[in-house]
Amino acid sequence: MVSEVQKNTSAILRVERLSMKFGGLIAINDLNFEAKRGAITALIGPNGAGKTTVFNCITGFYKPTEGMLTLTRQNGEEYLLERMADHVITKRAKVARTFQNIRLFSGLTVLENLLVAQHNPLMLSSGFTVLGLLGFPTYKKAAAEAIEKARYWLEKINLVSRADDPAGDLPYGAQRRLEIARAMCTGPELLCLDEPAAGLNARESAELNKLLLDIRADTGTSILLIEHDMSVVMEISDHVVVLEYGTKISDGTPETVKNDPKVIAAYLGVEDEEVVELIEKAEEAGVDDITAAVDLLSSEALHEIVETHPDAQPVELIPANTLLETAPAKAAATRKVSAKTAAPKPASPKAAAPKPESPKTAPKPESPKTTAPKPASPAKAAGIKAGATANALAEPRGGKADKLILIKGIGPVNERKLNEHGIFHFDQIAAWKKADIIAAEAYLAFDGRIAREDWIGQAKTLAKESQAKPAPKKTGGAK
């Protein structure tokens, strides 16, 4: 069977010009890709990239706005999935799926879950219930076979001993495996897994890898999976498709995708943006201690903050446009505000990065009590804002600023702040000296981050690139 599979290398699923719009929102925009027969294809991308929407289109839960989804079965039959109802896709086109939030029949036993999955063949053998009700032997035989098939899969996922327990009583990892086994009981040729490793620990996710490889080896089933866990993606997938904002940004083997700068930018960029968004929300809500909110990095945290400070004065943490004094003094003053409620933590909007441990090289703004300005940069007040760095410009050269957010660590908010302080171009950052860094860090409220993230180095390379060619397009950047 496996050899036959390998002979037939044509694509099992072809996605052509797939688009999905929800009202004005474009969830998928003109997506093309192929899933090879007998291969494991991974669909990755940041949150909200449209991966699950693609799945829902393939499995018929959504009707795509445009596009063609062609599934070719082993026997050569071709199905146009976008024209079929969801249950017909499973029944005839042999596509099975799992869900991001596990959808087991929690009140049925583990075994029953697997029997429900064999509904269609059993329905046939029971003569659409009539023969079965009258006790014809064909149904009895088919029922026994169905239980055997269920037992086979239970052995695979290591749950034979719990076959008679309610599915809702299983631990989380076992529920994930059971959902995969249930999908396999429909006898699929294409198995679509929506984040199968979500919520699993390292050992469980290694077991999952093995299970998926086993499934492919034993049954020849092609697998299409959405995954965030890179260990799963990189280890088992033969082919990776990367989505961002509904558009394909990369497509190839795990190795090529991993090193694709667009993919790196997409992942890091979005991560940064989420943080920045959070900060902006927090600022609106008048939160003093941003670090806590960022650490939690969830909307729940925000709700909590809003609830606990319902009537807090909207304190702008870093009122960049009113900066008139020297930067460090102002930063210290800002801290004083925050010190009222929270311990003076250095506000670091980068959640993923470790907390700045007050690096010795970078000068830290003074403790909240001292308001004395530190004689830092050679403060050029001049035309532009105070506290600006030495090479500040009144306006961008040629009226067009570089996209500073391309530098890892700079998000839209910081880009705006830098612009307000006369920094518009990569070469400006590249030319920063130590004093300039101190000044910039003061108004950005960063502690040593510029050095740690090597902004200057990044800026240098980017400056070189931008001279060579226009900067690559980055969606969702400065608006």
Neighbours of 352 (CB within 10 A): 10
Is 87 a binding residue for another protein by CB under 8 A? The answer is yes
Is 151 a binding residue for another protein by CB under 8 A? The answer is yes
Is 103 a binding residue for another protein by CB under 8 A? The answer is yes
- Interacting residue with another protein among 26, 99, 316, 368 (CB under 8 A): 99
User: Contact region for another protein (CB under 8 A) — 72-80, 164-172, 450-458, 467-475?
Assistant: 164-172
Residue 171 Cβ, how far from another protein at the closest point, in Å?
12
- Quick check: 174 and 162 in contact, CB under 8 A? yes
The smaller minimum CB distance to another protein, of residues 132 and 422, is found at 132
Question: What are residue 17's phi and psi, to 5 degrees?
Answer: 50, 40
The smaller minimum CB distance to another protein, of residues 143 and 315, is found at 143
The smaller minimum CB distance to another protein, of residues 115 and 174, is found at 115
Binding pattern for the stretch 60-79 against another protein, x by CB under 8 A and - elsewhere: -x------------------
Q: Is 380 left (phi over 0), alpha (psi -120 to 50) or beta?
A: beta
Binding pattern for the stretch 172-211 against another protein, x by CB under 8 A and - elsewhere: ----------xx--x-------------------------
Is 219 a binding residue for another protein by CB under 8 A? The answer is no
User: Contact region for another protein (CB under 8 A) — 3-11, 108-116, 236-244, 267-275?
Assistant: 108-116
User: Which tokens go with 274?
Assistant: 């989420």
Whose structure tokens read 């007998």? 38
CA-nearest of 407, 448, 404, 446 to 422 is: 404
Decide: helix, strand or coil at residue 166: strand
Decide: helix, strand or coil at residue 35: strand
Using CA atoms, how far residue 138 sits from 123, 134, 135, 287, 475, in Å, is: 11, 11, 9, 69, 60
The residues facing 243 across adjacent strands are 248
Residue 447 Cβ, how far from another protein at the closest point, in Å?
49
- Interacting residue with another protein among 31, 104, 190, 232 (CB under 8 A): 104
> How far is 283 from 207, CA to CA, in rounded Å?
44
Residues 243-282 that bind another protein (CB under 8 A): none
User: Contact region for another protein (CB under 8 A) — 163-171, 196-204, 311-319, 419-427?
Assistant: 163-171
Is 157 a binding residue for another protein by CB under 8 A? The answer is no
Is 59 a binding residue for another protein by CB under 8 A? The answer is yes
Neighbours of 204 (CB within 10 A): 17
The smaller minimum CB distance to another protein, of residues 27 and 114, is found at 114
Residue 146 Cβ, how far from another protein at the closest point, in Å?
9
> How far is 362 from 125, CA to CA, in rounded Å?
76
Q: Which helix (H) or strand (E) holds 144?
A: helix 137-156
Binding pattern for the stretch 317-336 against another protein, x by CB under 8 A and - elsewhere: --------------------
> How far is 277 from 412, CA to CA, in rounded Å?
9
User: Contact region for another protein (CB under 8 A) — 145-153, 259-267, 330-338, 460-468?
Assistant: 145-153
The smaller minimum CB distance to another protein, of residues 55 and 455, is found at 55
Is 231 a binding residue for another protein by CB under 8 A? The answer is no
The residues facing 5 across adjacent strands are none
Q: How many residues bind another protein (CB under 8 A)?
A: 49
- Interacting residue with another protein among 48, 67, 166, 346 (CB under 8 A): 166
> How far is 302 from 296, CA to CA, in rounded Å?
9
> How far is 211 from 125, CA to CA, in rounded Å?
30
**CA neighbours within 13 Å on the CB side: how many for 446?**
25
Q: CB neighbours of 437 closer than 8 A, spacing ≥ 6?
A: 362, 450, 451, 456
The smaller minimum CB distance to another protein, of residues 160 and 478, is found at 160
- Interacting residue with another protein among 11, 160, 213, 390 (CB under 8 A): 160
Is 107 a binding residue for another protein by CB under 8 A? The answer is yes
**CA-based max dimension of the chain:** 96
Amino acid at 169: D
Residue 60 Cβ, how far from another protein at the closest point, in Å?
8
> How far is 296 from 282, CA to CA, in rounded Å?
12
- Binding stretches for another protein (CB under 8 A): 59, 61, 86-91, 96-97, 99, 103-109, 111-112, 115-120, 122-123, 126, 129, 132-133, 139, 143, 147, 150-151, 154, 160, 163-169, 182-183, 186
